[in-house]
Amino acid sequence: MVNFLIFGPPGSGKGTQSVRLAEKFNLLHLSTGDMLRAEITAGTDLGKKMSLIMSKGELVPDEVVIEMIAVKIDSTKGKAGFLFDGFPRTVAQTVALEKMLNERGMKIDSMLVLDVDHDELVKRLIARAELSGRPDDKDPKVIENRIDVYREKTEPIIDYCSKKGLYQPVNGVGSIDDIFVRLAEHMSKIVR
Ligand code: AP5
Ligand code: MG
């Protein structure tokens, strides 16, 4: 099994690239953002509780997303491993993920970090707002808050993973095809 984190600020292209990479490398793509939005769409109690937090661009509590991943962690049947997108988002979530993987004889094999400048992120998310219907894309202040929350709470994971030799920065600006090639090149070195 081989397990990747696809990492980067809001709008860096994690979701766009994950769909294609998961197919190419036969990985199970797990996006906690997609799972949470599915809860909201389905009108579950959890979805109702989380929707306000998400619409402000704040992080939902660690235990909520850790539990979501915990129920999926034994679903790799027929897959080469996991591609985690938008999870972990705090160091506490990273430690919890490592524990879940280690208990199953697995580990985080690489962290691919999409590097995209601030103005490009904002441009992409504002452009998406109309299409996505995502409340967190609609208000430029919420977009800025999402980026601030990433810098403050999520970026420290890069330091944590760097110390373990897992950090792989990737230029996330350019065409979707070119970025895919850059990511796939790094992943090919790990997936044998
Ligand atoms: P989440 O769903 O993870 O959203 P996010 O990180 O804010 O980022 P996005 O999904 O908006 O961006 P992306 O990097 O996937 O880029 P995409 O490919 O879509 O989280 C949402 C919320 O859920 C959080 O704020 C939080 O409340 C909660 N949450 C989720 N996980 C959590 C966790 N683990 N812990 C706590 N809370 C959690 O691309 C963006 C746009 O750009 C698209 O329109 C795309 O078409 C376009 N695009 C992509 N690539 C390019 C390119 N190369 N050139 C031009 N445009 C491009
Ligand atoms: Mg996404």
Please report the pLDDT score of residue 40 as a whole number: 97
The reply to whether omega before 10 is within 30° of 0 (cis) is no
pLDDT in tens, 47-63: 999 999 999 999 999 99
Please report the pLDDT score of residue 133 as a whole number: 86
Which residue among 59, 149, 154 is best mutated to probe the pocket of ligand 1, counting the most ligand atoms within 8 A of its Cβ?
59
Which residue among 5, 6, 14 is best mutated to probe the pocket of ligand 1, counting the most ligand atoms within 8 A of its Cβ?
14
**What is the residue type of 127?**
A
Residues 6+ apart with CB under 8 A from 41: 47
Note the Cα 175 to chain centre separation in Å: 20
The tokens 């704040």 sit on which residue?
Answer: 58
Q: How confident is the model at residue 130 (pLDDT cuts 50, 70, 90)?
A: confident
Please report the pLDDT score of residue 32 as a whole number: 98
Question: From atom 6 of ligand 1, which residue's Cα is the shortest distance away?
Answer: 10
Model pTM greater than 0.95?
A: yes
Q: How many CA atoms lie within 13 A of 39 on its CB side?
A: 19
Q: Which domains does the chain have, with CATH numbers?
A: 2-188 (3.40.50.300)
Choose among 21, 175, 1, 31: nearest CA to 112.
21
